[in-house]
Each structure stands twice: as structure tokens, then as C-alpha cells.
Chains A and B, each alone.
Chain A
């Protein structure tokens, strides 16, 4: 379980990163590495190049923008979890982060990395979708905003182009009723099924190829979850109903 060989690049700036991503074939961005490095160790991922963005200065800020919380690419999950600003403007975000893996993983893992990794069973993509947030993508071609609704395209697939770096995630200010609930086998595991409520909005995770919005009154409508060792499609649908009931009972 050792990584295969790769070309290693440690750019010092976003611009340099974008140039590398534009010029290198088969490059992967390495941020916190908490999802990528296991894949490298299993040799399930064998990118020709790793672009390690950890040496870029001033890319770890958490700041207020447009009434919401902007989280830059190198802000660690634990820092955001402890952020007074996030707690004040968007308390759902720290609440969701506390469900992400374990604190030791969150010490290194990043919010933006989790969004770019786009595991359908992870919490943050669903949170961003429920809140109608967006991400900022940078490339040699310039910057663009990708709304949450357009970001997640399939299992671990996003609308980010291969030459784009996710530089910032934005979570709107959210003061309405919020809650997150999930069923996982062990504390900190990926969810068999999960649900995020913000006001009347409901986003589900772990039950489709991407996080999905659902109708709280009929949350399983149109859902066709896949099955795995720990949950059949039927069990996932059952859990979605149970979780939705729990979130909207309060």
C-alpha cells in the first residue's frame, strides 16, 4: 500500500497552480489529502502528476462575503468547525462538519477538497446544495462561479474542468431553522443515508449519485438509490423517510 510514482509539483500561488493544471496531463490537486492519499496508497488512483497546493500562501482564509461565509481552499475543516464567523453566519456548516469523519481527519481535510471530491455520501455537498451556495473555480482562463445546483454531476464527478482549481466555497448566511441527520454504521463513517434541512428546503445525501434536493412531504419521490453491503435501495428509501420525519418533526 504505497503510492505509485507521480510527478510532484508544489506551486506557490493560484496562478502557478492554474498554469500547471493547464499544462500537465493527468494531474490531481492535493489539498488535505484525506480522501486522495488513501486512494494513492491503494493504487486505486495513479495520477501522473500531483499538484500540492499546500504551499500557496493566503489561501486558508475564512471570511464574510455577501452576508455568507467564504471558505478558501486551504481552510481545514477543523478550523471552519471552530470558526466564530461560521457559527454566527451559517451555524449549519459547523454542525455538519462535526459529522465529517473524525477530528484528526478534519485537522487536515479541507472544506473545498471535500466539495471537489464530491463523494455522494458526504455531508458538505448536501449542505451547500441545501443552502444554495456556490464555489469559485479558477483557471488560466479566469475565474467563474459554479452554483451548488450545477456543481455535482455524478458519483465523485463535478462540473470543475481538469484545469480548474476550486479556490473558494461560499455558504450563504443562514439563520432559518436548520438540522442535519444521518445514519452511518459507525460514528464518523460515510452516511448510508443523510438529510439536511434548511427552512423548508431538504437536501439528501448518500441516496443518489449526487446530493439531491427533495420534497419534505414526499422525500423519496423519484429517488432510485443504489444498494451496497450496508444498505439496499429499499433500506435507503426507508431511512430517507425516517430521517426526514425526524428533521421536520422538530
Chain B
């Protein structure tokens, strides 16, 4: 294979229209659509005594107001997307609540009006009488179970899972040193700049439901809508147009609006749209990260981990639509890049009266990394050893792959690392980090990490060479900024010997490609990328078969280069790909564009039927890729920070990243993913938190108070790559979407702990938190004197 495009810093083909303001996001689509608003619960836990929508319905400009009783699916529980045998008490919400609400923001009524302004006026007029119920808001409170979120879920426990590799009790008892840690990670929010949005139209004449949805999984939405409305899947088309960032929560389905908007469009026979505002985004969109870990580690005098036991509670929120994927990921990822010969992990997934949780960039991994890295720092402190040296002594070595962790992975298989070179990551990171800056109150943090990426089950792609010689390609997974239109084009262009500019990619449009799963879990490059490679390879093979007839050559002697199919070693013996596309479709009627060359009275290259047996017309192919297991990317981050001892302001003096995601398709795009991930990690570690009070009210539900960092808060990030190809897929690639965010909390915790001399056992931090930790530390100092 020639690799002219793969690996190059190809500039993005999607930029031009986005930069000119010609992007097409869901709310950009109007077409006379009615607008809508969801009336949401202001209570975290309450019984609904009555709902009166009469005043809202009477308001001029209001077209319809729906409550649960108005919906044919009003008494249907929404699906548990990923069932698991240990999810013994899975619970999901209904589209509109009619009996009990279990989090602030749960939908109760749906208003459709001529404009969003009027819809909001009407929502103000919906009278809901609530009877407040006791609120369960932290994972600790949920586990203590003084109150229940669901009457029929004892102990608030949705699921419990215990896994053990080796013999932990025995190894722990025999370990020369033991240490216990209590570690806590709070909830965070993905906060894409575009909130969620849905637009739907029912074309009665064509019997077709068209839905635009700011989703990470249009193919799944399509399947679900077809089932719900009793339509053939072929009558439902779902398009994720330009999506303004996803980061996880847009993979969740179904949010109530995703059913209500199409329902209303069918019922009212008019297009209907719903565009979330920022205020509702804070409580209506899934969140993540709340976990509390109790860790015990046994280790030897050299700092080698002999046994690790982690018992953690995961904050599910009010419902478990996404199953128990998050705690399963955490459980598998705690050991990270380290050998843990005896590992036991138990989790309980507990209900709270807060927004449900589902993956947010990192998905269970930032907390896992934090737990392991804090544990290793504790070992180093206990033994007075260098923190980096303790890490080196525990790293899995390059000759130990494939490496089995000993517990289950999120795809139903065992967690098995395919490849990597972790010591090299640490070496290069230290080299880039350089000497410690001069001055006081400076700390260093370093954290290698692994990330299971590229989970199945599969993705597919369709690639077609048009008679113009241009190429169109489509895959089912949508794009939220990952440059799919560019990187898929690079993969296809290499296979077909054409220019990237001649490949036009469509993603996330079921009209163009109806099969697939979605964009999540750092899986696009592995699954859809390899599917593109497979499909384009099939097209290339067919191009050679067709051209072989034209050139009277053996297909094995042909190559695709420069927009031609030509004989290897004789570049002047070739036919343009456009002509091959023409000949791939024998025809009776020429319709221009050079197609007369394939009509019936032109000389035939070959006896027999015009379309050879077993061959399909057109220079096109559909290919799929289904990974045998996850690819495990890895990396190492390190930082120097300074903390002002008076104001507790954090200054990140240097931040370096060395990353290994196998073969790199486009370094520019990859660096963008990492830089963005690190920034999100810094936000989550020091600026952003979701501050729920004991009544379950989110006290900082605005961008004024939920402190996403601006440019002024994010330092320069220095990045380097090493490439350890994955042996599991043809391209040798691994995923990279989440890598940037994973170790940031661990790195900053270690650096701040050293800078300020206070123990850090929780995330996120803030100047206030550091002030309080330093007061506690002074108190302890006084008492010990």
C-alpha cells in the first residue's frame, strides 16, 4: 500500500463551510418548524399530585401541550440500553413523569408553540403540584440508604459486581507494607458548546419520518423510533448534521425530546423542533464521574505492588439507562499500565436524586487513573522513594504483551492489552519535562495511563467512485469535530490513489449509510477508519478487475495511482479511474459524463455477459470492520505547577504529553484532540464542579458559576508521539479521543500535593479547597507539636 495521505498533517476539508458560517447544526434547520419546551421538575424527589395544563393550552400561539396521559407510549419505561446480568435493579424513566420525579430537570410536560418565546410563556403557566420526598444526593448517602430513590430498590443498589484476579487476601496478608486510601471524585459535566437539539418532520405522502438530531448515534435513534412508532426502519431517516461537540452525553438515547419531537411532528403534521437552552442542559443532560473509592494496597520494600483491593461506589444518578458500563470501565482501568498480580475490585452502582450518568469523555477512566496514581504516590511517600521510580518498577514491560488484566472489559470480553511501550513513554515524558523550575511552592506530577479504545461491535462504510472520478464515502457514525471528513478521506485516498480533495465523506446520515453504532469510546478511527480501509480496498480490487479487461493485463499487475489504474512499472499504460467507473456499469443508455464508452455498440473488452458473473454494477463497495478486541492506547502526562501560598491560585508552568495511539492518521488532528482533552481535564480538576446542595438543587447551573476555563486558564501543552501499532486491525491504529483528559486529575493532584505540602485525596480542587486543606494541615501540625 502506498501511504501518501495517511500520517500527513492534511488540513481539514470541513473547515471552509464552518468558517464561513455555512455549517448546518440542528437548530439551524427551521423550515417553518413549531418550537417546543419541556416543563421540568424543580424538585429532586417528589410525588406529582396534579398537573394542570389548561392555562398553557389556552395561551395564544400554543399548538399543543402534552402530559404522560396524552402519549401512546406514556406508560412505557424507556429502554435499558446495555443490559447486564449484575444490573439486578435497573430502572429507567418514562418520557414524561406522571407519578414521581427523581431529579431536578426530569421532564413532566411538553409544550409546542409557534415560537420558543411563546412556548416558554406557556411553560410558566403549567401548574404542577408536587409533594416533596426525601432527597438522596451523594454516593455516600445513597450507600447509607437512609432514604430510597426507588421504593422497590433496596439499599439504592442498582448493581453490584465483584471481580478478583489472583488471591488478594493471601497476598495482602503476606505483603511487607500495606496502606489504605479513601479517594473521592465528584461529578462533572461535558458541556459541549452546542446543547442538544432535535428537529422532526413527518411526510405523510411519502410515509417518511425525517429527524435531525444532535446525537452521537443516529443509527440507534433510527432503530428506536421505528420500533416505537411501528414503522419499517426504511421509513425513518435520522441525520446527525454538524454537531457542536459531544464528549459523551449525546451518545445517550433516548432523551425524552428524542421521542416527543417526532411524536408531535407526526401528530401535528408540521415540522417540530426542540433546542435545549443552557440552563436546562445543566440538569437534563447526563453527567458523570461521581465515585468514592476505598483502596487497600500491599507492597514490598521496593515499592512493587503485590495486591490491590478497591471497593467503590458509583453514583448512577436517578436512573440507569446506560447500564453499568461506567463502573465496569473503572474497575478494568484501575490497574492501568501497571502489573497488579493480585487485584480485587467490587463496585456498587447506587441511585441518587440527581441527573442520570452516562459516559463523559474519559468515561470511568479519569477516576480509575486518579485512584491508581494516588496509590502509587502513597507508596512512594511511605517508603521515601522517588515517585517516578516507583512507577517504573511497576510498569508492564514491552515484552509482556498481550497482557491480561484479569477482569472484564466493557465489550463483554476480558481486558487484554494488545501492545504498548510504557517505559519509553515515561522516559520521553521526563526528557520533555526537563529540570524543575526555580522557586518555592512548585510541584511535579507525572502519570502514565492506558485507555481501552475502539470497542465493537462494528462499523461499516460505503465507498463509490463516481463517473467523474470523484469519490464519495459514507459511514454511519457522526462527527462532532473529530475531522472525520478529512481522516476518512485520507484513508480512502490512499487505497484509491486519488487526492484527498477528491473524496467527499458523509457521516452520521442514515440515508447514506444506515448501519452502525455511534461515535463514542475513542472508537471512530479503529472501527469506521478500518471499515473505510476495507471498503476502499474492495473498490480498489474491483477497479483492478475492470481495468484489467480494458488494459488486457492481470489485475495483480495493476496499481491505483494519480487517479488512474495502471500497470505497475509502466505508468503510461493506464486508464483514468473515471473511465473505470464508467466501465464498471455496462449500460444501454449513455447519459453524458463519458458514459457512452460503456454502451453496447462500443467495442467489448471481453466476451461473455456485460456484467461478469458474481459482479455488481458500479465502482462501489460496502465494507465492515468488527474488532476482535479493544485496542489499548497509552500515554504519559507530566506537569510542573506553582500554587500561590496566599491566594491558592494555580499556575501550570509546564505541561507535557507523550501519546501512543498506534499509527497516526493525521498528527494535526490528533494533537487537537489531545490539547482539547487536557484542557477539559484541567477544567474538571480545578475549575468545574457540579455543586448539588442537600435538596438536590444544582447551585451553579450557568456558565457564570460552572467555571469552564477560558484561554487565560489553559497553558501551552507540549506533545510528542510514539507509535506502537496495534496488531489487531489492518491500519494498526488505536483510539485517541479521550486520552487527553484521563490523567490530568492525577497529575495535578500529585503536583499540587507537592507544591503545597497538603494531602490531596479528592477531585476537583479549587483555591477554596486548598485553603481548607492547608488550614487542616496547619491544625494537624499544631496538634502534633
Q: Which residues of B contact A4 (CB under 8 A)?
A: 120-121, 124
Number of contact residues on B: which range applies?
A: 20 to 34
**A42 to B, closest residue via Cβ:** B279
Tell me the minimal C-beta distance from A181 to chain B in angstroms: 10
Q: Does A232 touch B at the CB level, under 8 Å? A: yes
In the bound complex, do residue B710 and residue A183 qualify as a contact, i.e. CB atoms below 8 Å apart? no
Q: Does B22 touch A at the CB level, under 8 Å? A: no
* Complex Cα gap A239–B710 (Å): 23
Q: Does B626 touch A at the CB level, under 8 Å? A: no
Tell me the minimal C-beta distance from B310 to chain A in angstroms: 30
Tell me the minimal C-beta distance from A74 to chain B in angstroms: 25
Q: Which residues of B contact A2 (CB under 8 A)?
A: 116-117, 120
Binds B, one of A10-18, A122-130, A184-192: A184-192
Q: Which residues of A contact B771 (CB under 8 A)?
A: 234-235, 238
How many residues belonging to A are interface residues under a CB distance threshold of 8 Å? 26
In the bound complex, do residue A235 and residue B768 qualify as a contact, i.e. CB atoms below 8 Å apart? yes
Q: Does A43 touch B at the CB level, under 8 Å? A: yes
Q: Which residues of A contact B117 (CB under 8 A)?
A: 2-3
**B647 to A, closest residue via Cβ:** A183
In the bound complex, do residue A229 and residue B710 qualify as a contact, i.e. CB atoms below 8 Å apart? no
Partner of A186, one of B279, B699, B712: B712
In the bound complex, do residue A229 and residue B705 qualify as a contact, i.e. CB atoms below 8 Å apart? yes
Q: Does B436 touch A at the CB level, under 8 Å? A: no
0/1 interface trace, chain A 173-186, chain B, CB 8 Å (1 if under): 00000000001011
Q: Does A250 touch B at the CB level, under 8 Å? A: no
Q: Does B84 touch A at the CB level, under 8 Å? A: no
In the bound complex, do residue A183 and residue B767 qualify as a contact, i.e. CB atoms below 8 Å apart? yes
Partner of B707, one of A43, A186, A235, A245: A186
Q: Does B278 touch A at the CB level, under 8 Å? A: yes
0/1 interface trace, chain A 184-208, chain B, CB 8 Å (1 if under): 0111111010000000000000000
Partner of B687, one of A183, A185, A188, A190: A185
Partner of A242, one of B279, B647, B691, B712: B647
Q: Which residues of A contact B713 (CB under 8 A)?
A: 186-187
Tell me the minimal C-beta distance from A50 to chain B in angstroms: 15
Tell me the minimal C-beta distance from B259 to chain A in angstroms: 23
In the bound complex, do residue B277 and residue A1 qualify as a contact, i.e. CB atoms below 8 Å apart? yes
* Complex Cα gap A82–B433 (Å): 41
In the bound complex, do residue A5 and residue B121 qualify as a contact, i.e. CB atoms below 8 Å apart? yes
Query: Of B117, B124, B647, B766, which is in contact with the most chain A CB atoms at under 10 Å from its CB?
Result: B647
Partner of A189, one of B278, B647, B699, B707: B707
Q: Does A230 touch B at the CB level, under 8 Å? A: yes
Tell me the minimal C-beta distance from B647 to chain A in angstroms: 5
* 4 nearest A-B pairs in the assembled complex, by CB-CB distance: A187-B712, A242-B646, A1-B277, A2-B117
> Chain B interface (Cβ within 8 Å of chain A)?
116-117, 120-121, 124, 277-279, 646-647, 649, 687, 691, 699-700, 702, 704-705, 707, 709-710, 712-713, 766-768, 771-772, 775
> Chain A interface (Cβ within 8 Å of chain B)?
1-5, 38, 42-43, 183, 185-190, 192, 229-232, 234-235, 238-239, 242, 245
- Besides the contacts A43-B120, A235-B768, A245-B646, what 18 more A-B pairs have beta carbons closer than 8 Å? A1-B278, A3-B117, A4-B124, A42-B702, A43-B124, A186-B712, A186-B713, A187-B710, A192-B767, A229-B691, A229-B699, A230-B766, A232-B768, A232-B772, A234-B775, A235-B772, A238-B646, A242-B647
